[in-house]
Amino acid sequence: MTDVRRVFEALNWASSFLKAKGREENAARILLQHELGMSQAGLLASLRDPLDPEQDERFRRNIEQHAAGVPVQHLTGVEEFYGREFEVNKDVLIPRPETEELIEETLQLVQRYFPAGDPSIVDIGTGSGIIAITMKCELPASEVAAVDISESALLTAERNASRHGADIDFKLGDLTEPIRGRKWDIVLSNPPYIGYDEKAELSDTVRDFEPHTALFADDQGLALYSRMARELPALVNKPGIIGFEIGHAQGEAVKSLLKEAYPQAEIYVKKDINKNDRMVFCINA
């Protein structure tokens, strides 16, 4: 391939190539912006420019990789979450927009139950760190801790925290094990919640590239909610808030796990923007 292509030619080629392979065409624009280090507006302004052959070659390789299933975020190394950019890699779950809704709801609850804006917060299973870091950035007066069982995930989360200047106490360990011995105002978690029997239904991009410890859990994906529901009453203050992200079919099950642990609390399932059950909140006020 010696012909120099213009930016729009490369973009059109990549979009139709990805479409033919059953992938999102939009990935073409994201990968080209990444290659050129341009915003979307910058790319639009450069459509008629000739593409540097080396950049074109790398862009082609990335398009081919994505066509083969590699997540776009593993090729760019980043994903945006709640308006901030986070490093992602094969050791952490790629941030999902649904999790922004967990943040949004929690911030509303903070206004209501912790009007001083400084509740202590812990994020269990922090992965890339998005929940803990976002909460710390939004509520700088809060003390924030984050737990993960994976050392490489924690290293990624630490890099993300320093990228955003967020002072967070990162703890390596299994679920609530490293946060015992004191009480917290808010506990948030987006734990692995996919049942092993659902593996076949996942897209190859997820199943073959995202870390299985971040995706799957026993008991149809409920195992970690049931452990947390049992362990949290000793670790959460009153008033206190627990917020879980859940799978769309898990609302009632997770609600009743929390109900057993907190018979007096207000517990509700909240839908995401696609109208799927996506969060369960427990308010013990």
The residue (of 10 and 93) whose beta carbon lies closer to ligand GLN is: 93
Least CB distance to ligand GLN at residue 193 (A): 7
The residue (of 63 and 229) whose beta carbon lies closer to ligand GLN is: 229
Quick one: tokens of 57? 């070659």
Output phi, psi for 227, to 5 deg.
-65, -45
Least CB distance to ligand GLN at residue 282 (A): 18
The residue (of 60 and 136) whose beta carbon lies closer to ligand GLN is: 136
Is 190 annotated as contributing to ligand binding? Answer: yes
Q: Where are the alpha helices (DSSP H) in 212-262?
A: 212-215, 223-231, 251-261
State which residue has the least CB distance to ligand GLN: 127
Q: Which of 245, 269, 268, 254 is nearest to 219 (CA)?
A: 254
Is 127 annotated as contributing to ligand binding? Answer: yes
Contact 196, 249 (CB under 8 A): no
Is 99 annotated as contributing to ligand binding? Answer: no
The residue (of 190 and 226) whose beta carbon lies closer to ligand GLN is: 190
Least CB distance to ligand GLN at residue 127 (A): 3
Least CB distance to ligand GLN at residue 118 (A): 22
Helix axes 53-67, 26-36, angle to 10 degrees: 140
Amino acid residing at 223: A
Amino acid residing at 165: G
Output phi, psi for 124, to 5 deg.
-95, 120
Assign residue 239 a region (left: φ > 0; alpha: ψ between -120 and 50; beta: otherwise): beta
Q: Which residues bind ligand GLN (CB under 6 A)?
A: 93, 95, 99, 125-128, 130-131, 190-192, 214
The residue (of 93 and 261) whose beta carbon lies closer to ligand GLN is: 93
Least CB distance to ligand GLN at residue 66 (A): 21
Is 128 annotated as contributing to ligand binding? Answer: yes
Quick one: tokens of 232? 């949290």
Is 129 annotated as contributing to ligand binding? Answer: yes
Quick one: tokens of 142? 């809060």
Is 225 annotated as contributing to ligand binding? Answer: no
Least CB distance to ligand GLN at residue 35 (A): 26
Is 195 annotated as contributing to ligand binding? Answer: no
Burial 201-214 (b: 16+ CB within 10 A, else e): eeeebbbeebbebb
Contact 70, 209 (CB under 8 A): yes
Quick one: tokens of 180? 């015992």
The residue (of 14 and 224) whose beta carbon lies closer to ligand GLN is: 224
Binding-site residue positions for substrate: 190-193
Binding-site residue positions: 125-129, 148, 190-193
Binding-site residue positions for S-adenosyl-L-methionine: 125-129, 148, 190
